[in-house]
């Protein structure tokens, strides 16, 4: 599995916008200012060519965690985002599979 940026997309402008909005507070906690940052995170997700077995919700979580973690460490860039997303995807795919048993009941009132 090789995860890359999709062909024809250039995430650098989006990453630059996210970087400009990045703020670190005195405790080192990162935040991103502006309503458009949520859309920018989703655009980054759509520019990445994820493996088919990863559902959209998990893709969103991976990108979100990546941007916040890298934003805490320093400035954001295309290469570091790709490297960290690859690591998170590899960990996600290799995680231990768990089996679940579903029990359900239905209550119907008799007439």
Structure confidence by residue, pLDDT tens digits, 15-41: 999 999 999 999 989 999 998 889 999
Identify the pLDDT of residue 102.
83
Angle of helix 78-94 versus helix 12-21 axis, rounded to 10: 90
For the chain, give the mean pLDDT. Answer: 92
The Cβ of residue 39 has, within 10 Å, a number of other Cβ atoms equal to 12
Separation in Å, CA 31 to CA 49, 54, 56, 57, 87: 26, 26, 23, 21, 23
Identify the pLDDT of residue 1.
64
Q: What pTM value is reported for the model?
A: 0.82
User: Taking residues 42-47, what's their average pLDDT?
Assistant: 97
Identify the pLDDT of residue 75.
87
Task: State residue 65 phi and psi, 5-degree precision.
Answer: -60, -40
């Amino acid at each position: 599995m090789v995860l890359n940026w999709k062909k024809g997309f250039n995430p650098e402008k989006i990453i630059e916008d996210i970087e400009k909005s990045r703020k670190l507070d005195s405790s080192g906690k990162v935040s991103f200012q502006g309503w458009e940052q949520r859309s920018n995170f989703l655009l980054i997700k759509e520019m990445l060519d994820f493996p088919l077995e990863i559902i959209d919700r998990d893709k969103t979580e991976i990108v979100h965690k990546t941007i916040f973690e890298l934003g805490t460490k320093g400035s954001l860039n295309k290469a570091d985002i790709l490297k960290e997303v690859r690591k998170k995807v590899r960990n996600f795919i290799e995680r231990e599979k768990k089996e679940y048993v579903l029990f359900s009941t239905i209550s119907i009132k008799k007439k």
